[in-house]
Amino acid sequence: MVVKAMRFSENASLQTRNTFAITAKARFLADVYDESQLAALLNTVTAKRLKVLILGGGSNMLLSQDFDGLVICPQLFGVHCISENDNQVIVEAAAGENWHQFVQYCLTQGWYGLENLSLIAGSVGAAPVQNIGAYGVELKDNFVSLRAIHRQTATVREFSLAECQFGYRDSVFKGRLKDQYIITAVRFRLSKIAKVSVQYGDIRQELTSKGIDSPTPQQVAQAVIAIRQRKLPNPEQIGNAGSFFKNPVISQTQFENLKQQYPNIVAYPQQQDVKLAAGWLIEQAGWKGQSLGQAGVYEKQALVLVNRGSATGQEVMALAKTIQQSVYDKFGVRLEVEVNLI
């Protein structure tokens, strides 16, 4: 296989490389096409002296200013089967693969388990960092291991499921090992036997409306795609980074008090605590469809902030802070930002 040579540029625009379509620039930008190029780059003086930002699909970040450092874009591609038996397959995808295309490829091969995660923007390599999740399934449910390269030493190591410490929109790569590793490949265990996860209300409704009782994984994927297309803005048309905030988790006691005041509050009981639908809180605080300058709150899903044309990262942050304050004033609940602020 012929691998392209690394591409290095200076004063590079990041506008088409972040789904919020913010017009920030990088002092240096490098597209790398395999692990050895990545290791060589990390060993250069430039990489060792400068601030480094790893940019996958750019779909879960907000650039608040130009990046005065080196942006590394891992353009590592390839999907292959590591092992299989009659029931399951272990498949490895390189970090640069587009997540949605990877999920659809698995479906065409008859490898099931990722269908609820259809149409999530971003790359395979970024997916474990925040343990992407949707419609009752999280990445961790089908995860086996990943390969990652250390940013300082350029050594490669493997991380098991336990070592990744996955949680709700969380992993060790957002915590103790933040900014230390670059993920280069991810392995999943997928089932060859079709079994679907349709407990999430929206999916059930979508399938019922189509008269489907026992859906195939492909039908579940189609349902998820239809719901997402209805509710979430297409980043190719309206700049956004998906849910801007996490759904907040509060204590049972705080929830009982809120429920007295707001009987319609949307909540999901957890083992000990209660997770609230942040979209509901933001909508009730009056923000759905509103704007502050060029930054706005999406009309069909209040958890998503959008770039109405030429918003700066600062403008989006100003809107986010105002919403946080407003939700806190009304409900006493703090909203935590879910996207990475750069």
Query: Is residue 135 close enough to count as binding ligand EPU by CB under 6 A?
Result: yes
- Spatial contact of 139 and 123, defined as CB atoms under 8 Å apart: no
Q: How many residues bind ligand EPU (CB under 6 A)?
A: 18
Min. distance of Cβ 97 from ligand EPU in angstroms?
A: 19
In the bound state with ligand EPU, the residue whose beta carbon lies nearer, of 75 and 118, is 118
Q: Report 269-308 residues binding ligand EPU (CB under 6 A).
A: 277, 279-280, 283, 288, 301-303
**Amino acid letter for position 74:** P
Active site residue 206: no
Among 239, 242, 248, 313, indicate the residue that binds ligand EPU (CB under 6 A): 242
DSSP state of 20: T
Q: Which of 118, 123, 171, 243 is labelled catalytic?
A: 243
Q: Report 167-206 residues binding ligand EPU (CB under 6 A).
A: 202
DSSP strand E in the chain: where? 7-13, 25-32, 52-54, 61-62, 67-74, 79-84, 88-94, 133-134, 137-138, 143-150, 156-160, 181-191, 239-243, 249-250, 267-269, 274-276, 291-292, 295-297, 304-307, 340-341
Min. distance of Cβ 46 from ligand EPU in angstroms?
A: 33
Query: Is residue 231 close enough to count as binding ligand EPU by CB under 6 A?
Result: yes
In the bound state with ligand EPU, the residue whose beta carbon lies nearer, of 37 and 247, is 247
Q: What are the CA-CA distances from residue 51 to residues 42, 69, 317 (Å)?
A: 12, 5, 22
Instruction: Give CA–CA dist 133/338, Å, rounded.
Output: 13
Active site residue 169: yes
Among 17, 220, 210, smallest CA distance to 117 is for: 220
**Amino acid letter for position 217:** P
In the bound state with ligand EPU, the residue whose beta carbon lies nearer, of 197 and 254, is 197
- At 63 the three-state DSSP class reads coil
Q: Which of 27, 197, 204, 338 is labelled catalytic?
A: 338
Among 123, 171, 219, 247, indicate the residue that binds ligand EPU (CB under 6 A): 247
Min. distance of Cβ 313 from ligand EPU in angstroms?
A: 18
**Amino acid letter for position 189:** R
In the bound state with ligand EPU, the residue whose beta carbon lies nearer, of 301 and 324, is 301
Query: Is residue 20 close enough to count as binding ligand EPU by CB under 6 A?
Result: no
In the chain, what is the straight-line distance between the N-terminal and C-terminal CA atoms, in Å?
Answer: 35
Among 217, 218, 160, 187, smallest CA distance to 80 is for: 187
Angle subtended by helix axes 201-209 and 217-231, to nearest 10: 100
In the bound state with ligand EPU, the residue whose beta carbon lies nearer, of 33 and 244, is 244
Q: Which of 17, 147, 169, 228 is labelled catalytic?
A: 169
Q: Report 201-220 residues binding ligand EPU (CB under 6 A).
A: 202
Active site residue 36: no
Strand arrangement of the beta sheet that strand 88-94 belongs to: 79-84, 88-94, 181-191, 143-150, 156-160
In the bound state with ligand EPU, the residue whose beta carbon lies nearer, of 41 and 302, is 302
Task: List, by residue number, the catalytic residues.
Answer: 169, 243, 338
Interface ranges with ligand EPU (CB under 6 A): 134-135, 202, 231, 242-243, 246-247, 266, 277, 279-280, 283, 288, 301-303, 338
